[in-house]
Amino acid sequence: MSKVKCDNWRIIEDTFNTEYLQHYETIFTLGNGYLGTRGSLEESYSESKPGTFIAGTFDKAPEEVTELPNVANWLAIDLNLAGENFDLKQGQILDYNRSLNLKQGILTREVTWQSPAGNVTELRFERFVSIADQHKLGLKVAITPKNYSGEIKYKSNLDGQITNSGTQHFIDREKCAIEQQGIYLVQRTQESEIDIALAAMHNIKSEGRGLKIDNNCNIGRRKVFYQGQFNAVEEEQYTCEKLVSIYTSRDVANPKEEAVKSVQEAIKVGYDYLANNHISAWAKEWDRSDIKLDGPTFDQLAIRFGIFHQLQMAHKSDDRISIAAKALSGEGYRGHVFWDNEIFNLPFFIYNYPAAAKTLLKYRYNTLDGARQKAKDNGYQGAQFAWESARTGEETTPKWGGLDIETGKPIRIWCGDIEEHITADVAYAIYHYYQATGDEEFLQDYGAEILLETARFWASRVEYNQGEDRYEITGVIGPDEYSEHVDNNVYTNMMVQFNLEKALEIVGYLADNNPQVWEKLVEKLNLDEEELTKWQEITNKIFINYDENKKLYIQYEGFLEQDNIDDKIKEAKEKGIHLPALVPWKKISEESQALKQADVVMLQYLLSDKFSVEEKKTAWELYEPKTMHDSSLSPAIHSIVAVEMGDLDKAYDYFKQGAKIDLTLGGSEAGLHAASLGGLWQSVVNGFAGMRREEGKLRFNPTLPENWNQLEFSIIWKGVELIINLTRDSLTLKASSNLEDEIEFNVYNNSYILLPQEEKTIELSQLEVKIS
C-alpha cells in the first residue's frame, strides 16, 4: 500500500480510483466539532459511503446498540451537461486533482472530463464546513463547457435515504421548498426523538452575461431537491453555489425555523464571504496550535493532519458530548467514546485549548450517574465508567464481533464486561488536566467528585487474598485486548493504585485548603474516615506483578508460562494482516504470548517516573517483538518509550508507522483513527521534545530524529503560553506577555527558571544528558 501524495499543507489525490474512494472520503472529512461530513464526491457512485454525523444525536434501533446516526446527505449534486450525466466512470478523465488544504479547511476538486459524446467540460468543486459558524456549510461548483454550448441541469439534493449500513434511524417529518431556490428537510430519530433540520439555498450565476434560470423544486421518498436549468455557452464559466444550515432539537426549540432563517441569511452574504470567515478562523487555530518542522515534507504534513482533524473532532463548548473513536468521520465504532479520548486525544487540548479539555472532561462528570449505575449493576460501589459510552454514560459495547477462523462463529466481545481500566484512565486524565492547568474551580466542582467516586469503585472491586496479604484484581482485560480474563494485569493494578493515591492526595489538599468544599463532598458522597483508611490500605497492598531479579513488570499472572507464537506474529506482520486472520481466537486470547497493542509499555509511558531505564528496556525486549500493533493506538506509544530508552531509530520508525495509519491508502474506510492522531502529537511533544510533567513542573528531555533539524511549537502551561524552539544543539523557551511569575522547568535533570519577558536558551551540548 502506498502513502497519499502531499505537500506541507495539502493532501492530494491526483487519480480517480473507486477502490480508494472510501479511504479518501475519510481523510478528506470536514468538520467543526458540531458535525462532520465525509469527503464524498458530489455525484453518486456505488462504491461511495457518504456520511454526515452530528455530535450527540445518538439513537438506538431495535436489537442493536446505540449509535450516531448518519443524517441526510447535503453534498448530493447531479449534473446533466448537454444531455449527458456527469459520471467519471463514463467518457474520459483528461485531468483530475482533488486536495484538502489543511491551512484553510477547504476541499477542492478540479476535473476536465470528456463525455462519451466528446464534449469537454472543466469543473471545479469547492466546499467547507464552517468553524466560524458551526451550523453553516458551503459547496460550489464552477462549470466551463470547453468545446460545446448546450443546456445544463444542476440538481441539488438533501438526501434522507442515507442509512447506517442499512439501519434507518429516521422518520421523515417534513420537506418543502423555500422560495424559488431553496429546500429543507426535517428528520426525527426513531428512539431518541431528536429533530434534525437541513435547509439549503442556491445561487447560479455567470460572470459574462445575464443568465435565465429555470428553477424547480420537488420531493421524493425521504429526499427533497432543487433543480436549476440554463443554457450554457462555450468557454463561459457558470458558478452554482449551495449554502446549507443544520440545526437539531438538541440546540434549539424549533430547528426547522432556525435552519431556514440561517440559510436565508447565508445566501444574502454569499459563499465567498462565509468561506473567507471560515479561512480566517482556521488561521487563528493554526496560530495557536501549529507545530513547525524543518524536516521531511511527509512528517510535517502528518503532524498537521493530526492537528487538523483533532481540531475538527472536538466541540469546545458542549459538555454533553466527547470525542468518538472515529470522531465524526465514519460509522466505525458507532460514534462511541472510549478511553481513547482521555489518554490519547485529551493531552493535545490540555496544552493547546484547556477550556476545550475542560469541556471534554465535563462529559465524564455529566455521565457520572451512568457510571454509578454500571457499578451498581455489577454489584460495586462508586462509579465504573463504560468501556463504550454514548449519550448517558451507560454501557454501549456490542456483545459480538467478527467470526473466529476456527469455529466460524462470532467472537464474544468482553471489553464492556471486563476491560475495567478505563475508570482509572478517566481519573488519570482528571489529575493530568489539574496538574497542567491549576484549575481549582474544575477540581472543586467536578474533578474531585470523579476521583473520589472512581476510588470508591476500585475499593469495592479489588479482592483481598488473605494468604498473600494483598489486594488483587482478577478476570480483566488490560490495554492488550488479545489477553482476556487475566488476573492482576499490571497496567490495571498500577493505574488503580494511582487512582487511589491521587484521590487521597486531593482529599488532603481540599481538607487543608478548602474545607467548605471538602465538607460538601463528604456530605454528598457520605464519605467517612474508615473508607479513606481502607483506600490507603489498598494502595499499600495492591499486588504489582514484578520480578526483582529480572527487573521485569509481568503483564499478568501466568504470562511467562503462555505459548510463544512469535513465529506467527512475525508472519502476520510480514503479510500485513491482523493476527486473528492467522491464529484461532482461543489460542490468541487464552494460550499465547501475543499482544494486540502496548500494555506494560503503555503503563511505562503514563507513569514514566515510576520506572527506571533498565526496567523500561527489560519490558521492551520482552513485549515489543510480541506486539502486533493491531490497534492504531500502539505505534505512537512505542515511539515515545523508545525515545526514553535512547533508541532514536526505533522511535522514528514507530513515529512513521503511526503517521502512515490514515495516510496510507487502505484501512481507514470506516473512519479516522482519532486516538492515533492524538498519539502522533504526543510522540512529537512528549517523545522527541521530551516534554513531561514531574512533581508539578515541566521537564524537557529533547532528542530530535536524525533528519529533523528544528522543531517549534507552543503549549499553555497553567494559563501561560510558552513557545518552544528546539534544534539539535539548543532549546529555547519564551513566554507570552501574560507571564506574571517565574516558571520552573527542568532540562535533563538541570533546573532552570523562566522570568517574565525572558527568552531563555539552553545549549544542550553543554549538558550532561541522562535519559530517565
**Where is the binding site, in residues?**
339-340, 596-597
Burial tier of 177 (Cβ tally within 10 Å: 0-12, 13-18, 19+): middle
For residue 185, count CB atoms less than 10 angstroms from its CB and return exposed for 0-12, middle for 13-18, buried for 19 or more.
buried
257 CB-near residues (< 8 Å, 6+ apart): none
Confirm whether 472 is a catalytic residue: no
Q: Compute the distance between CA of residue 223 and CA of residue 217 in angstroms, rounded to an integer.
A: 11
The C-alpha torsion from 337 through 341 and 344 to 346, rounded to 10°, is 170
Instruction: Give kind and range of the element (H or E) at residue 495.
Output: helix 490-513
**What angle is formed at CA 703 by the lines to CA 700 and CA 707, rounded to 5 degrees?**
145
User: Angle at the Cα of 42 (from 148 to 329), degrees rounded to 5?
Assistant: 160
Rounded-to-integer distance, Cα 607 and Cα 432, Å: 11
Residues 58 and 65: beta-carbon distance below 8 Å:
no
Helix (H) or strand (E) holding 203: strand 195-206
130: which 3 cell numbers? 464552517
Residue 445 has a CB neighbour count (10 Å cut-off) of 13
In a 10 Å sphere around its CB, with 0-12 CB exposed, 13-18 middle and 19+ buried, how is residue 14 labelled?
exposed
| Count of C-beta atoms within a 10 Å radius of residue 88 | 15
Q: Closest Cα to residue 62, out of 167, 207, 153?
A: 167
Pick from 325, 451, 503, 463: nearest CA to 397:
325
Sheet holding 238-248, edge to edge: 5-6, 10-13, 92-101, 106-114, 120-129, 136-145, 238-248, 195-206, 182-189, 170-178
Element (H, E) at 216: strand 214-220
Could you tell me if 34 and 57 are in contact, meaning their C-beta atoms sit under 8 angstroms apart? Answer: no
Q: What does the block give as the cell for 580?
A: 486473528
Residue 232 φ/ψ, nearest 5 degrees: -105, 145
Identity of the amino acid at 234? E
Q: Is 571 exposed, middle or buried, given 0-12, 13-18 or 19+ CB atoms closer than 10 A?
A: middle
Dihedral (Cα; 81, 87, 91, 95), 10-degree rounding: 90
Rounded distance between C-alpha atoms, residue 728 and residue 731, angstroms: 8
Distances (CA, A) of 513 to 506, 517, 535: 10, 9, 21
| DSSP E strands, 351-409 | 400-403
Q: CA-to-CA distance for 329 and 164, rounded, in angstroms?
A: 13
Distance CA 276, CA 288 (A): 19
Q: Which residues are annotated as a binding site for substrate?
A: 339-340, 596-597
Q: Where do runs of H (alpha helix) occur along 90-229?
A: none
Q: How far apart are CA 627 and CA 618, in angstroms?
A: 15
Candidates 241, 342, 453, 481; catalytic one = 481
Whats the size of the chain, residue-wise?
772
Closest CA to 304 of 36, 31, 681, 29: 681
- Judged on CB neighbours under 10 Å (0-12, 13-18, 19+), 703 is buried
* Residues tagged active-site: 481
